[in-house]
Structure 1
Amino acid sequence: MKIPEKIKEFIEKRIELENFCLPHFYPEIDSFEAFQVGYKIHGNTGEKITGEDQGDFRESWFVICSGYSNDPFFIDIHEENENFPVYFAWHGAGSWNPIKVSNSIHEFSNQLEWLKEIESMDENIQKRIKDKMDLSNKFWAEVYSEYEECEDE
């Protein structure tokens, strides 16, 4: 697969964050397909494990990074005209239930860069997240909670 330039640029930034929910692992550009193992390809047999039923990982989805628990952040290759919205799903839930976390790959990159910046500051991360992010989104609510737990420790 030829990786679209927008996706390459995002991957090459490798924005790693301390929050358990946020990206920590990124594919190498020259082994992008190998990064799909466990999501699109069975790790032991090499068989495709995608499908079109509710809860299946779709053939058109590509994992662009993952969190500490290998929870994937992915794009749908068919949504290039929409600037690749970014989705997230919890790994190991028995089925894939995507949550749209950003309207575009560019927006997601900006969100991660902003979070990286505030992680390095010694101030109330939760307040800043609450003011800027949509906490009605299950994913961003989880990110908020994870920062709250880290501050409590």
Structure 2
Amino acid sequence: MKPFPEALRTFLAQGTVVGDLLLPMHYATPDHFEAFQSGFRTQGLTGESLVSEADGGWHPQWYVIALSGLDDPLFIATDEADSGYPVYTAPHGAGRWDALQIAPDLATFGRLLQALAEVTDDDLESERLVRTATGSVNEYWREIFDARVEQAELEEELPTDDVPCDPDDFTSGDLMVTALGPQKLKVVQLVSQCRGLALKDALALVEAPEFQVACGVRRSLHHLIAKLEALGATVAFRPARSPGR
């Protein structure tokens, strides 16, 4: 993208991370901006162009400026400079790209992210900020606020007492997730709560082929197993090895 828009440079330098998985977590940089387009504008291995004017294609004017915690792109269109570059997103892995506008321009989106980062524990104020900045709470923003409510409910329902692992107890072991299933966002939130991790750290954890969610006696994990399976995740309980084995 030449020349590089000053409004975009300012936005990227700000680089605000609020913490919600659907909001920006990884930002492009001006020096490596073209490389950041890999997988969207270009094929990662061959460098082949992926842009297309076809319905559902990645349009030639679209450039990714950030990725959400779920690797969904947040992008602008170079032919909308006169409007201050409205910001769009589209779900990754849907088989097509359908742009959904989430902010009227880059400057407004940057200010909104900064404001949201200051009121992460106040959902009513967060929603008011979004309505003021964007004019409405569309499906993108609604999913963010719904995820916050679900996270709060998980925190209330899960036991707060830690159950220590006891390698001498035959029924003690590790609860592993071997496949996330279709509701990745909700599983990440649950893992975040169980492990006491920030959402960003939980997201990095679940990138592994399998990962530990909790440890303890099997009976103490029944509630958690049921929640994970209800979300479509595949779990496995691995008994701890007895001493000497």
| Superposition TM-score, scaled by structure 1 size | 0.91
The alpha carbon displacement at 1:127 in A equals: 1.7
Summarize the Cα distance change of 1:136–1:114 in structure 2 as closer, same or farther, 3 Å threshold. Answer: closer
1:146 aligns with 2:143: no
Residue 69 of structure 1: how far off its partner (Å):
1.4
Paired amino acid for 1:127: L
Shift of 1:136: 4.4
Q: What CA distance in whole angstroms lies between the structure 2 residues aligned with 1:40 and 1:146?
A: 30
Q: Which moved more, 1:128-137 or 1:56-65?
A: 128-137
- Give the equivalent residue in structure 2 for 1:5: 6
Q: Give yes or no for the alignment of 1:20 onto 2:16.
A: no
Q: Post-superposition shift, 1:45?
A: 1.6
- 8 A contact 1:86–1:108 mirrored in 2: yes
Gaps of 5+ in 1: none
Ranges of 4+ aligned residues in structure 1 off by more than 4 Å: none
2:125 alignment partner in structure 1: 128
Superposition pairs for residues 58-137 of structure 1, below 5 Å? 58-119=59-120, 123=121, 125-134=122-131, 136-137=137-138
Return the alpha-carbon distance in structure 1 between the equivalents of residues 127 and 15 of structure 2: 25
Give the aligned residue type for 1:143. Answer: I
Aligned length: 149
1:5 CA drift (Å): 0.4
Structure ID, larger Rg: 2
Contact 2:119 2:126 in 1 (8 A): no
Residue 130 of structure 1: how far off its partner (Å) = 3.2
**d(CA) in 1 for partners of 2:28, 2:127:** 30
Give yes or no for contact 2:37–2:64 (8 Å, CA) kept in 1.
Answer: yes
- Report SS of the residue matched to 1:25: strand
Question: Does structure 2 retain, via aligned residues, the 8 Å contact 1:20–1:146?
Answer: no
TM-score normalised by L of structure 2: 0.58
**Structure with bigger RCO (C-alpha 8 Å, 6+ apart):** 1
Matched-pair contact (CA < 8 Å) for 1:21–1:146 = no
